[in-house]
Amino acid sequence: MSYPGRLAVLLAALLLAATGMAAASAAPGDDDHEMGSQIALVEGRTMPASQPLTAQVAQTPGMDVSSHQGNIDWKAVAGKGGKFVYVKATEATTYTNPFFNQQYTGSIGAGLMHGAYHFAVPNQSGGQAQADYFVDHGGAWSRDGMTLPPALDIEYNPYGATCYGLSQAAMVAWVKAFSDRVLARTKRFPTIFTSTKWWTQCTGNNPGFGANNPLWIPFYGSSVGALPAGWGFLTIWQFADKGTFPGDQDRFNGAYDRLKALANG
């Protein structure tokens, strides 16, 4: 091979190596993880259940979205019956959704109630620090009748150990620190999105949040299993990762007037 040919091969190899190193060293917050994505990856999309799903009250249709959905035609969503949306705002203290403004403000312009959620990475920083980052970048709340309480998405670690290397007691303390800080800054307890299996493994099935924090849980099937300890009922059900609306498909466990009541605190 000629010298120029060998030089070209060498440069290509160096470029490939540099690209790989950059990808490997990317900060966790540089990625955008959708709500429930790690639960679906670990637990699957059909969850075992102990009881059939029988709605005792009317269900209100909605969705949750992230940057993966890009700019959304909210008038079309409203036309299909969508009533609410949760929009990913932040992850850890390093990531903000670049489509947040269009998704969040655009949805309310089309008449949908909206809320913001934060993807937790508990081994990157404390609960209070991530709560502050969240509230500062879209996670605020106002009593306008259209804004749902902030939400914490806490699930399997996409970067390593399932429970982020935290003990059950440390995880409970982290969630409490996040919840307390959001309450202090927004006057609302955050909704908690998690799975029963993860919550049991990583918090010891701690029952201490059911009295104040609404529960949002994924069941990608036709049945509902046992809820985490402390919660007597479900507030939001994420039942599919695609369907009528952009993003994940959700149902609020109640009629529209009850959704309105949740928004108003």
Q: State pLDDT tens for residues 162-211.
A: 999 999 999 999 999 999 999 999 999 999 999 999 999 999 999 999 99
Residues 254 and 154 occupy one common structural domain: yes
100 and 9 inside one domain: no
Domain containing residue 117: 31-264
Whether pLDDT at 223 is above 70: no
State the pLDDT at residue 77: 98
- Residues 5, 103: one domain? no
Task: With CA atoms as reference, report the closest residue to 47 among 36, 58, 56.
Answer: 36
CA distance 62 to 34: 16
pLDDT of residue 89: 98
Identify the pLDDT of residue 172.
Answer: 98
| pLDDT value for 225 | 76
Computed over every residue of the chain, the mean pLDDT equals 85
CATH of the domain at 63: 3.20.20.80
What is the average pLDDT across 116-120?
Answer: 97
Is the pLDDT confidence value at 19 over 60? no
What share of the chain in percent tops pLDDT 90?
A: 72
Quick one: pLDDT at residue 177?
98
By the 8 A CB rule, do 237 and 250 touch? yes
Residue 142 clears pLDDT 80, i.e. is over it: yes
Q: Residue 243 CA to chain centroid, in angstroms?
A: 18
Q: What percent of the chain has pLDDT over 70?
A: 78
**SS3 assignment, position 157:** coil
* Same domain as 125, residue 8: no
Instruction: Find the range with the poorest average confidence among 10-19, 110-119, 215-224, 243-252.
Output: 10-19
42 in the same domain as 22: no
Q: Where are the alpha helices (DSSP H) in 110-195?
A: 127-136, 168-186
**Co-location of 188 and 245 in the same domain:** yes
61, 244 Cβ separation under 8 angstroms: yes
Residues 58 and 3 in one domain: no
Using one digit for the tens of pLDDT, what is the confidence trace for 33-54?
Answer: 766 567 555 666 554 443 334 4
197 and 250 share one domain: yes
**pLDDT tens-digit series, residues 64-83:** 999 999 999 999 999 999 99
Residues 134 and 9 in one domain: no
Q: pLDDT value at position 129?
A: 98
Q: How many domains does the chain have?
A: 2
Cβ proximity of 72 and 102 under 8 Å: yes
Q: Are residues 72 and 14 in the same domain?
A: no
Identify any residues that bridge with 96 across adjacent strands, giving them in sequence order. Answer: 90
Cα 168 from Cα 103, distance rounded (Å): 35
Residues 79 and 206 in one domain: yes
pLDDT tens, 20-31? Answer: 333 233 343 456
Residue 118 confidence (pLDDT): 98
Q: Which residues are catalytic?
A: 64, 153, 155
Domain identity same for 234 and 160: yes
